[in-house]
Structure 1
Amino acid sequence: MTQPFDPYSVLPPVPGFTLRSADIADGHTLDVAQCSGLFGGPGQDRSPQLAWDGYPHGTRSFAVTCYDPDAPTVSGFWHWVVYDIPATVHELAADAGAVGGKNLPAGAKMLANDAGRAGYIGAAPPPGHGDHRYLFVVHALDVATLDIAPEATPAWLGFQLLGHTLARATLTPVYGEPA
């Protein structure tokens, strides 16, 4: 069986660290809370709780992303992008991705996801499309802030992360809609 493409495999390798969550786990199906209601489903568009440790000395900030590489587009689908998370923050509570950023730690910022919404949008694969992977990634960065315009795209942030990522931690739950 062919292994699914790992979009991080084309980037320069970096060390890993520990990412854990009370809400999601590698290979486990997302709960309805982390699925999308915006696309007409029963979801709640509630970002999962995430906590991390073991990141390298010299980390000055973090970014958190959620990306679906299995979306039926040539560019995948960015569900959530948070950056400029201070190095003193080691956890995002559930629903930190609420639209408008009211639940983010001080200093952290969100970009609009691929649905044009500055907040977390949950899983919503097309019916019958099979399981999609949702890559929740915490990036440990060597800068305190990234020079990113508020209207920038998640892909632009990803390009900016390229030269500043010291380490990366990932959890990859799945979700699929039956036919």
Structure 2
Amino acid sequence: MFLMKDIVRDGDPVLRKEAEKVAFPLSDEDKQLAHDLMEYLEVSQDPELCEKYQLRAGVGLAAPQVGESKMMASVLVPAEDENSDPLFKDVIINPVIVSNSVQRGALTEGEGCLSVDEDIPGYVPRAARITLKYTDVDGEEHKLRLKNYPAIVCQHEIDHLHGTLFYDHIDKDNPFSKTEDEIFIY
């Protein structure tokens, strides 16, 4: 199981590299990586286990964040009602955003990252809706539309696979600027 000591921190060159595509069928090593990425999110979202293992809660974790330059990320966006199924849960491999809305969205509290220890304030404008194409751990291809929070989380994780960090999107001169057509989520 990954712990906070296993999370690569901002400044490590792996976070700024273009990740390598993952070959199918998955090797045993890649299957284990996929399992471990999702396990971190599941454990980190359980308050008791999160405290026990001293984790920072996360909704996404990309392979480069654990030092593996591979096009793979786990996403676990919980439902607002804890008794409901997650809004989105999967390990996305070789993901591509095939289309996105013109309308932009951002999280009202800004974004954070397990690899970035300091709080970097500002809005991170992203597409409010995306169409995502990816392959899962079983080799099945998926193409689905996501909106609002799940779309933002997937864009954040896909950025990791291309060497981009969330704060690269923040307007340096006016971090809380927004356009009239931007929607805010949460």
Q: TM-score when scaled to structure 2?
A: 0.27
Q: Which has the higher helix share?
A: 2
Q: Which has the higher strand share?
A: 1
Higher relative contact order (CA 8 A, sep 6+): 1
